[in-house]
Amino acid sequence: MANEKLNDYIKKCIELGKQREEITNNLLGVGWSKEDIDASFSAVEEEVLVPEVPTEEVAFKEPIDDFSNSLNNEINSIQQESNNLNEDLKQEKSSINMRRKKEVVEEERIIDDSEENNSKKIITPIIIVVIVLLVFSIAFAFIQKIGPFSSLEAEPEIVQESENVIPPEEEIIPEPEVIITWNCGEELIDERDGKSYPTVLIGDQCWMTKNLNYITGNSSCYDDDVENCEEHGLLYDWNTAITACPLGWSLPSDNDFKMLERYLGMEEEKIDVTGWREVSPNAQGTLELLNITLSGSRDVSGEFKYKGEYANLWLSDSVDDLYSARSFRAKDSNIYKGNVSGEYGYSVRCIKY
């Protein structure tokens, strides 16, 4: 059934030129139902179809302002009821949640109590069985120990000495380490073959005073005669000579020989000259200390030459494909400085390093 106030409102809106859709949306927005709005529109449309007898003066029983105020009051009332309803719904929802939490807690407590009771039911018989077994094991052990007819007084235990008693180990006191000192001037024993070599200190250098006679690599006695090795030592090619000296000794370098030559009184301007160079006449005694033996050499073809005439000693230096050497001769005390092929067989005099 149409509402008179709503009908009047719709009429006023139509008179003001508003469309039905706009009027409907406004009324829906303030809480009127679609059915009431449609019913009022139908009633208004019927009144429009029945023409009224015009009168001299048209007057409304209620002013428009009163109608608007009444309508607003009704809208506010509807909103208040809606708010109250929402608040009631919130409280009801909160109450339901609280009840649900209490139910969950109660269910968990019931489950825990049930599990605890079940655990007690299982553990109690196990404890009883363990106690019974423990009592039986103690009793059995006691019976085995004393025997059924043994005396309560225990016999003294007889301890027999073992026949295999291991005496305590004697403390081994290490013997003091013997430190062997060696001084230049004493004989050098080559540990590799036991051969001995006299030595001499010249200036700050310690030299062997005998040619090396250690068989290794490409080495040979003069004329392949062993007796020559006893006096003159072996003849080595350079590659063999460079590693032939005993441990702690080495093939002398060119600088080592220069130091010796200065000690022998050779003039400084002659030190680096290639060829035969004079030494001081006073150096003859020092050369005798070196005991230079004229052992000859072996040439690249393998022929042995110049024994009793020349002595040739390898040095550790090399220049291109040639290797340093020093030579001595029988007729004077001059010393030759030069470089030759490493395939020659020369003598070796080692120097302490």
Q: For residue 202, tell me if it sits in a domain.
A: yes
Residues 235, 336, single domain; the answer is: yes
Q: For residue 143, tell me if it sits in a domain.
A: no
The confidence score (pLDDT) of residue 117 equals 64
Q: For residue 106, tell me if it sits in a domain.
A: yes
Residues 303, 224, single domain; the answer is: yes
Q: For residue 41, tell me if it sits in a domain.
A: yes
Boundary of a domain, candidates 119, 150, 176: 119
The confidence score (pLDDT) of residue 67 equals 61
Residue 162, Cβ density class (10 Å: 0-12 exposed, 13-18 middle, ≥19 buried)? exposed
Residues 331, 221, single domain; the answer is: yes
What are the angstrom distances between the C-alpha of 17 and each of 11, 20, 22?
A: 10, 10, 11
Residue with the two structure tokens 């002398």: 252
Tokens of 17: 């030129």
Q: For residue 152, tell me if it sits in a domain.
A: no
Residues 103, 193, single domain; the answer is: no
Residues 101, 193, single domain; the answer is: no
Tokens of 91: 């409280």
Boundary of a domain, candidates 69, 101, 119: 119
Give this prediction's pTM: 0.51
Beta carbons within 8 Å of 114's beta carbon, 6+ residues apart: none
Tokens of 178: 């013997």
Residues 238, 336, single domain; the answer is: yes
d(CA 38, CA 311): 145
Residues 111, 192, single domain; the answer is: no
Q: For residue 128, tell me if it sits in a domain.
A: no
The confidence score (pLDDT) of residue 48 equals 61
Q: For residue 150, tell me if it sits in a domain.
A: no
Report which residue type is found at 75.
I
The confidence score (pLDDT) of residue 81 equals 66
What are the angstrom distances between the C-alpha of 100 and each of 45, 93, 95, 103, 312?
A: 56, 11, 9, 5, 117
Residues 111, 215, single domain; the answer is: no
The confidence score (pLDDT) of residue 251 equals 98
Boundary of a domain, candidates 97, 119, 141: 119
Mean pLDDT by 10 residues, the chain (353 residues): 78 86 87 87 74 45 60 71 66 74 77 66 75 80 60 49 54 66 95 97 95 97 97 97 97 96 91 92 77 96 97 96 95 93 98 95
The confidence score (pLDDT) of residue 56 equals 44
Tally of domains within the chain: 2
Q: Domain residues for 92?
A: 4-119
Residues 225, 107, single domain; the answer is: no
Residues 208, 323, single domain; the answer is: yes
The confidence score (pLDDT) of residue 57 equals 44
Q: For residue 173, tell me if it sits in a domain.
A: no
d(CA 348, CA 60): 151
d(CA 44, CA 269): 146
Tokens of 280: 């001081």
Kindly give the interhelix angle for 64-146 and 4-15, rounded to the nearest 10 degrees.
120
The confidence score (pLDDT) of residue 343 equals 97
Residues 201, 295, single domain; the answer is: yes
Residues 210, 308, single domain; the answer is: yes
The confidence score (pLDDT) of residue 51 equals 47
